[in-house]
Amino acid sequence: MSLYIGRETSKLWKRISAETTTEVNLLAENWKYVLGGLICQYMHGLAARGVHYIHRPGPTLQDTGFLLLPELGEERAYVSETVFTFIFLSFVLWTFHPFIFKTKKIYTVLIWCRVLSFLVACQFLRVLTFYSTQLPGPNYHCREGSRLATLPRPDNPLEFLLIMPRGVLYGCGDLIFSSHMIFSLVFVRTYQKYGTRRFIKQCAWLTVVIQSLLIIASRKHYTVDVVVAWYTVNLVVFFVDRKLADMPERSIGAILPLSNDVRMKEENIKLVNGNPGDPVDWRLRNQANGKVNEDSNGLHVDVLDGV
């Protein structure tokens, strides 16, 4: 038993080491995109903090969602945040699954380059929107009489540039459209395209719908903030994804993504030598647009899919 455990541990360590080497090489090639995406995340946080300074509390606007959904109350505000945290952490763990599982459908660095590009495009539109018109925040700490509804002027630039977790949780003014919905929809759409488990995809979409209702019931956003996020994020991801280069195929035994020239040269060599390749490998080859087969499409996918 101990010999078996030791053998499997050794295999897992070799798998992690090989994947780490691969991802480090990819990061060395794409670090500018990753760094740029992370800087834009920080700039989005500064923009949300800046609009909090000019937010003015007022009477809560009439909202259809507030009339239809019962109010959870301030003491149950954690419910929607718990659901969002579950979506966020689940997606992050999934993007790192190639380090653990044998089957490797995606490259972690490349998938995050794609996700960051979606987030940046959506957040750019979001900043333009909530700076165009500031609505009185419906959240409890943004209402009239709350000392957190408007931030006092910063004493020094460092106070403004330093984003604290408390400021993220208790922001006001950055309403249209919901940032929580941006992250959730981008994550779910990404798994919808590159994930392999149909049941998980269905559960993911159901979870996002539930989160949308919880955000409104928690009075963290108006209904319009959630509705605008649903169609804006989906449209942005659709059009940005068409402009980006296709995700490279990751066939069995592949370490680094091959360029189109190298792949065409290898296939030409096979044809010249009269060896068209293993028909099973051709059947399992992913589509050029990065989509992967789902587990319900055939038995051979279950053998390959680890996540």
The pTM of this model reads 0.80
Q: Calculate mean pLDDT across residues 219-234.
A: 96
Average model confidence (pLDDT) for the chain?
82
pLDDT above 80 for 116: yes
pLDDT above 50 for 164: yes
141 is catalytic: no
Active-site residue identified among 52, 55, 225, 241:
225
Please indicate whether residue 284 or residue 246 has the higher confidence score (pLDDT): 246
Distance CA 270, CA 292 (A): 25
Tokens, residue 122: 């959506």
Active-site residue identified among 174, 221, 241, 305:
221
55 is catalytic: no
Q: Do residues 252 and 65 lie in contact, with contact meaning Cβ atoms separated by under 8 Å?
A: no
DSSP 221: S
Q: Do residues 66 and 219 lie in contact, with contact meaning Cβ atoms separated by under 8 Å?
A: yes
Give the pLDDT band of residue 217 (cuts 50, 70, 90).
Answer: very high
pLDDT of res. 117: 96
Active-site residue identified among 44, 52, 55, 180:
180
pLDDT above 90 for 199: yes
pLDDT per residue as tens digits for the range 20-61: 898 999 999 999 999 999 999 999 999 999 999 999 998 999
Please indicate whether residue 71 or residue 247 has the higher confidence score (pLDDT): 71
What does the radius of gyration of the chain's CA atoms come to, in whole angstroms? 23
CA distances from 66 to 61, 72, 73 (A): 10, 11, 12
Q: Do residues 67 and 273 lie in contact, with contact meaning Cβ atoms separated by under 8 Å?
A: no
pLDDT per residue as tens digits for the range 252-284: 445 555 444 444 544 454 444 444 444 444 344
Distance CA 295, CA 272 (A): 35
CA distances from 206 to 20, 107, 195, 227, 291 (A): 33, 26, 16, 16, 21
The contacts of residue 175 (CB under 8 Å, 6+ apart) are: 130, 135, 137, 221, 222, 225
Distance CA 257, CA 283 (A): 19
DSSP string, 179-193: HHHHHHHHHHHHHHH
pLDDT above 60 for 293: no
pLDDT of res. 251: 57
63 is catalytic: no
